[in-house]
Structure 1
């Protein structure tokens, strides 16, 4: 297999690892045991890819290739030994989550295009791949999913990445360099949005959390 054909697999495995680390980090913060950490790492790392493959109607890559089971295991072991040495706040988790998001929006879009989906569907599937694992991770850990946090943007960077990948593929410009540049763009946008509190407009223009709190106390 040539290098170009291996790019999606390499990106996919890296995405699984980064999301798996975010799952194990959240498990450590929640005080889960080692088994719980491995399960949360597996949900975070593999959930988006499984959802992608089910929608495409193809056997999930995580079930066909045992290699996909290695990154969650490595992530669990890594967090077990180094968690006490890293910041216990949210920053490290967000960084790994952003890295997984950046890679999965690319691999999800690429796989959708490979299976003949139209560009719009491919972008949407790229977003599904990118946010699926994080959504499962947060729900299982009883956290408010980052996808629905009104003080942050989560899906928009992945959507932008999917659009860029679709354009690159359409013009035959996608390669390792352009893929890395796209991933860097998505990662940077996600981290900057978290750091500076960028967010999308609320569902109702006149609604605000402060007004809702006043209504409850009245």
Structure 2
């Protein structure tokens, strides 16, 4: 009897996250009236940018360049986003759900990989969060926008921090697969609730 291999499920979530975030990048490209090259770049940066940043900081070859599914997923998202117009609440809800799954998966992946390279606790958490939100930040910077994770939007980076800490604690006691699963569930639930109820962090102004 075959035993269940959780790595296959995690990889499926990972690639689904690349597709979803690639589509989010493509939607930005459509709003800005980019051509197909613009769609490709924004889809790749949004879907793969965080993981590529993490791997460069770890001085290792980016996974996006060694596993063909990742780059193919981002390119596919660019093509789909270029050819099709996505409208309706269900499209937005589906992309949000997949995005939150990826948020948990990527925050855990970055944290666990950083720990495997011998990094201390805080740098591992930082790389976990960077893996999760880095692609969106790069997308916003190259399109001349203030990154949405800097404030005024529903919780996103905060959720990634929780997932990274959770992953660190569970991995430290020898349960990396549980850490990955727990981060995916926690970030998905918290992220969807934050999106549903418009939870945000308090902001400070000049006199605040």
Check whether the contact 1:19–1:44 (CA below 8 A) recurs between aligned residues. yes
Of structures 1 and 2, the larger Rg is shown by: 1
Aligned to 2:203: 202
1:49-68 matches, within 5 Å, as 49-68=51-70
Q: 1:144 to 1:93 in 2, by over 3 A?
A: farther
1:8-23 matches, within 5 Å, as 9-23=11-25
Residues in 1 aligned to 2:100 and 2:146: alpha-carbon distance in whole angstroms = 17
Residues in 2 aligned to 1:18 and 1:104: alpha-carbon distance in whole angstroms = 13
Aligned to 2:124: 122
1:59-208 matches, within 5 Å, as 59-87=61-89, 94-175=96-177, 179-203=180-204, 206-207=207-208
Gaps of 5+ in 1: 208-218
Aligned to 2:48: 46
Alpha-carbon shift at residue 165 of structure 1 (Å): 0.9
Alpha-carbon shift at residue 9 of structure 1 (Å): 4.6
Give the length in aligned residue pairs: 205
Tell which deviates more after alignment, 123-132 or 81-90.
81-90
* Post-superposition CA distance 1:5-32 (Å, at most 9, x none): 6566545433322221211122223332
Gaps of 5+ in 2: none
Residues in 2 aligned to 1:142 and 1:96: alpha-carbon distance in whole angstroms = 26
Residues in 2 aligned to 1:130 and 1:9: alpha-carbon distance in whole angstroms = 15
* Post-superposition CA distance 1:97-140 (Å, at most 9, x none): 43332221111112112212122221111001111101011222
**SS of residue in 1 equivalent to 2:85:** helix
Check whether the contact 2:162–2:187 (CA below 8 A) recurs between aligned residues. yes
**SS of residue in 2 equivalent to 1:23:** helix
Tell which deviates more after alignment, 58-67 or 34-43.
58-67
Check whether the contact 1:24–1:75 (CA below 8 A) recurs between aligned residues. yes
